[in-house]
Amino acid sequence: MKKPETRIPLCLRQATLLVATALAFPACAEEDLFFSEMPLIASVSRLPQQLSETPASVTVIDQEMIRASGMRTVEDLLRLVPGFQVTSHNQDPAIVAYHGLNYGLSSEEYGPRVQVLVDGRSQYSPLFKSGVNWNLLPVALENIERIEVIRGSNTVSYGSNAFMGVINIITMDPALTKGWMVSANHGNNGIRDEVLRWGGSVGDANLRFTARSFQDDGFQYGYYSGRWTYSPDNRQSQLFDLRADIPLTDRDELQLTGTFARDMSQYGRPGSPVNDPIRNLEQSSAAFGILWRRTLSATEETKLRYGYNDDRAQGPFRTRVNFTTNRVAPASVTFFPGVDPGGRSQQHELEFEHLLSPRKDLRFMWGLGLKSTSVQSYEQFTSTEWKSRFAYRAFGNLEYRLMDPLLFNLGGSYEHDNISGDMFDPRASVSFHVMPGHTIRLVASRAHRNPSLYEAAGHSERRDIGGTGLVDILYYAQGVKPEQIDTLELGYLAELKEYRASADVRVFSERIPNYIQILPLALPASMPDDRETSAPFGGLRMNAVNYAVFPNGRADSAVNLENVRIQGYEYQLNWRPFETTRLMYGNSLICVTADFTDISRIADDFNNGPKIIRQTRDSAPTHSQTAMLIQKLPYDVTASIMYFRASPMRWRRNDDYPIEASERIDWRLAKAFRLGPMGGELAYISQMVNEQQQGRTINRLADRVHWLSLRLNF
């Protein structure tokens, strides 16, 4: 049966083509530009640009790479990007970090410094401490057209959370996904994935509906009580995704999206029914988005976007707290407080964007944004009250071509947050085409990151309610300012068309003079910690540097006390020596240095300072490599192999030993076929074939996994 013809009005297709062409090539008309393998990038300045003219380094993961990798999750795909580190997959949401800088504490388990977008919609959640919960990412790999990864700050275009970079996930136009698609992965370690997708038309509207089920058993081994044993680590998740693209007039188009993601993960330690019992954590995220795009002319366009997110989590359990206190009289105290790491958050976001090109040598975009967030979480605030914040921002990017080989990009963003105050983030870039196919880029920028509501106003405690009334304070906010990062970047891009190859090199220096760390600080008299006042030295905590004592105890708090500098280089090479062969290689060298701006403020009698500095310095591997080979063989067979290598690093502060140097090899073998009107592919994938992989800690191991994958289109 022949598939129905895509119904897109001719005038709308012509207008879209004119805008894309005019905005992307206002001053270039060379025919070979249209046949270049280099893609257009819209994620950096929000102006469609050639890769050689963007004011940042970008890695593009396209459909061919996504399918050939055999990866089951978006976060695993990011291993292909130079400078990125990703925790191995289990029930914990992945930590995705660029150039390290992860606390390794529960306060930053969701990674708040790299902005993640799905079709322009931010995936940052107030409930998950202004980070991304990758277990609830509302996109199926089968729907992704490409992923544009900006390596470096871009708060100019995307606000506070684009502090270290941006991951922009762009899904396929529903007009290109007509018909049915079903796919399944079944393998060892409980791997059971199923995807069902339907695409069709209702009138002039193009629709795409996707349902996905995802399941596995996570890490196979854990080291507890002096021995390796099976540890519950299973995860089950579901996703429902609907997108509708509706042409309203010859100039107007409406895009509607609605998603619901749910995740159920098992936590706990075997043999620890009191302190860390086996339990389930249920999380969900519902989102709705609407985008109105209007084409005013061949060189002008406006967009208006509204987004709403509702995130929820629940997983109550009881734990044990015991200590000896001197608060009233020396006594041993044991109580069993209830804990629920869940809660609820709501977020409304409205954004306007205007693109125009008044002259052939000048393009400009500007925009306005509003964001309102609310969070309710007893675990984060020791209260059932809603905590709210409001922010607005204005931003713009200008591209000016002084002469054919010389291009300037200037951008700026002003943001006001009712908790953190005002922030201004500028960026300046110059790209010089030294000769055809060779470009040098110099970028200078400043960016800020707003602390999360938890960092700025959190209060977490364990209280003996109905008993002694004694309290163990875990976190108590005492004032924190936005982080700042100053970046200098020198880039080189070579497009060697005669060799079907390209090279992208980035040399960088990044400085964060007020990096936010979670550190133990002295508590005020109005908030004493009964557990901490039972410490040595006469019941007082003592600072190991200046021997200051803290009569009210201490608690963790977010504070700007670390000066961090990150320097190094990274490069990526792409080569297609034959039409059937594709090679990619990435390499990075990262050197992180850090020191305290005022170590005397740390309330710690165990000289914790060096351990904190060590964790920051080791938060990124010094050397890392990634490689991928895709080879098309006769009879519609495709083979691919991936290689990942990284030197030792630390995900968590409290580990005595870093994660060991690792090497990982994955491979995939696939056969495409047709059965009448139905097309499909059968593949075998194997990951970690060479050795076990450590997780966030050295006492958790993931072993080899392999599965069969079947995909049918009809």
Mean pLDDT of 213-228: 78
**Cα–Cα distance for residue pair 58/44, rounded to 1 Å:** 8
**Cα–Cα distance for residue pair 175/310, rounded to 1 Å:** 28
Q: Which residue has the higher pLDDT, 611 or 397?
A: 397
Rounded to 5 degrees, φ, ψ at 617 are -65, -35
The answer on pLDDT for 406 being more than 80 is: yes
Q: Which helix (H) or strand (E) holds 453?
A: helix 453-457
DSSP state of 657: S
Q: Which residue has the tokens 């060379």?
A: 30
Convert the pLDDT of each residue in 410-467 to its tens digit: 999 999 999 999 999 999 999 999 999 999 999 999 999 999 999 999 999 998 887 7
**Mean pLDDT, all residues of the chain:** 88
- The beta-carbon contacts of 335-338 under 8 Å, at least 24 apart in sequence, are 335/462, 335/464, 335/467, 335/468, 335/470, 336/274, 337/462, 337/463, 337/464, 337/465
| Cβ-contact 671, 639 below 8 angstroms | no
- pLDDT value of residue 224: 67
Q: Which helix (H) or strand (E) holds 366?
A: strand 362-376
What six digits make up the tokens of 337?
Answer: 């407080």
Convert the pLDDT of each residue in 363-387 to its tens digit: 999 999 999 999 999 999 999 999 9
Q: What structural domains and CATH numbers belong to the chain?
A: 10-331+348-472+485-713 (2.40.170.20)
- pLDDT value of residue 22: 41
On the CB side of 520, how many CA atoms lie within 13 Å of its CA?
22
**Cα–Cα distance for residue pair 118/144, rounded to 1 Å:** 9
Q: Which residue has the tokens 């600080």?
A: 521
- pLDDT value of residue 238: 97
Pairing of strands 300-314, 279-297: antiparallel
Going 73 to 75 to 79 to 82, the CA torsion angle's sign is positive
What is the percentage of the chain residues whose pLDDT exceeds 70?
89
The answer on pLDDT for 609 being more than 70 is: no
Query: Please, which pLDDT band fits residue 29 given cuts at 50, 70 and 90?
Result: very low
- pLDDT value of residue 111: 80
Rounded to 5 degrees, φ, ψ at 530 are -65, -30
The answer on pLDDT for 39 being more than 80 is: no
Contacts of 34 (CB under 8 A, 6+ apart): none
**Cα–Cα distance for residue pair 120/291, rounded to 1 Å:** 10
The answer on pLDDT for 694 being more than 90 is: no
Mean pLDDT of 144-161: 94
Measure CA of the first residue to CA of the last residue in the chain; give whole Å.
Answer: 9
The answer on pLDDT for 646 being more than 90 is: yes
- pLDDT value of residue 606: 56
Return the ∠ at Cα 365 (arms to 362 and 366), rounded to 5°. 140
Span of 64-68, 104-108, 304-308, 395-399 with lowest mean pLDDT = 104-108
Rounded to 5 degrees, φ, ψ at 107 are -70, -20
Q: Which of 561, 547, 490 has the alpha carbon at shortest distance from 519?
A: 561
